[in-house]
A and B are shown apart, each in its own frame.
Chain A
């Protein structure tokens, strides 16, 4: 079975010359759940962006479902792999929580009734019903994380990449996020969690890799 996400000898350096990744190999299937760990500045987010094709490797190959990721348009990549930014606020652009979740559905040809139904379902799943008409920027950090995830899940992606999803969350909010991610895993959707929260990753991921000195261990 060919890998859904495949990285082959991926090297990456910033234009300044700082080498971040040195020959990274990684293979993931659709329903894999992986924790990508490492200290600050080790290149975890960079690796996530390389998988999404938001950055291009200096050398090596990044493939999505057997094809180089750059062969897909940004929209195609987004439809197949959901990406939750490190700062969820940076991916909001609608005036209300409900609009934020339903944004892409309207563009994908869903009827208004279908959009409404799907949005209601996701609001309930991510426990955001009472904020349906709230301005996304006014939510708490935990709610913003769940909203970002709900907006990504509205597209029914085959895989999700979450960048530092537990940062700044207290125990109760972290548990809510864990519950939501467990639900996603039960649906057969795999994910990569980029984090240095060992306990959070241990509860959610079947495997873990650490990025150190530009290599995965």
Chain B
């Protein structure tokens, strides 16, 4: 049974929003696009509050971004200066706001696919002429990202449980310790990849050149209309912005 919107329609919407996020540089425009994305998510029954929770996780990264943008962009009105070096300017604030909003739009765009399981995504990619093996591998890789993150966190905990106080270790040694964390994550990834490959082949992955599909969704007229509207809106926003 086909769902509305079709996964391909959602992929196009994601593409439209990420294009806008990357193309627009003005924080006001980006804020407007974010508001549009949130409204669209709400219309689809996906709570915009989830974005807030996601953004909260990246607050450390945002702080670094804001600081880096403030220090590297000294255009506009100067708010804070130290020994001739501009620490905070209106240009820096704008650039920092744009960077944070850009990430927010991309994360919001990704949420459009949050109600699709990986099988639906694989089917959609194959319908878009992506080779099945490639589509499957990409999504398998994406599914492993949280696992890798968890492994990094566990390794960091394990190192500290061996009596290494990261707060008291000098920077040089700290870098050495962080390099240790990479080892179990990479080794774990390789071992897991090998196991998954064996398990997949044992279940006849690629045993036959053609495969059948339990579901092969069709695009409805509503999907075509939604896609056309998304492309037209993106083009209109870009045309207005670059005018």
A positions within 8 Å CB-CB of B: 52, 54, 73-79, 82-83, 85, 89-95, 103-104, 107-108, 135, 137, 151-152, 155
Pick from B158, B169, B191: contact of A93, CB below 8 A.
Answer: B158
B160, A75: Cβ atoms closer than 8 Å: yes
Tell me whether B162 and A73 are in contact (CB under 8 A). no
Enumerate chain A residues within 8 angstroms of B184, measured Cβ to Cβ. Answer: 89-90, 92-93
Contacting pair B163 A75 (CB below 8 A): yes
Per-residue contact bits, chain B 140-181, to A (CB 8 Å; 1 contact, 0 not): 000000000001001101111111111101000100000011
A93 B151 Cβ-Cβ under 8 A: no
Q: Is B188 an interface residue (CB 8 A)?
A: yes
Contact A107 B158 (CB under 8 A): no
Main secondary structure of the interface of A (DSSP, over half): helix
Additional A-B contact list (9), CB under 8 Å, known A74-B157, A75-B163, A79-B163: A73-B167, A75-B162, A78-B162, A83-B161, A90-B158, A90-B184, A91-B158, A91-B161, A107-B169
Q: What B residues does A52 contact at CB under 8 A?
A: 161
Residues of chain B within 8 A (CB-CB) of A104 are: 162-164
Q: A54-B157, A90-B151, A93-B158 are in contact. Are A155 and B163 (CB under 8 A)?
A: yes
Total contacts A-B at CB 8 Å:
71
- Contact across chains for B161 and A137 when beta carbons are under 8 A apart: no
Q: Is the CB of B160 within 8 A of A93?
A: no
Per the bound structure, the CA–CA distance linking A77 and B164 in Å amounts to 10
Bound-state Cα–Cα, A207 to B183, Å? 39
Query: What chain B residues lie within 8 Å of A135 (beta carbons)?
Result: 187
- With both chains docked as a complex, state the minimum distance between the C-beta of A102 and any C-beta of chain B, in angstroms: 11
Find the residue from A54, A78, A93 having the highest chain B CB count within 10 A: A93
Which single member of B161, B180, B181, B191 contacts A74 (CB below 8 Å)?
Answer: B161
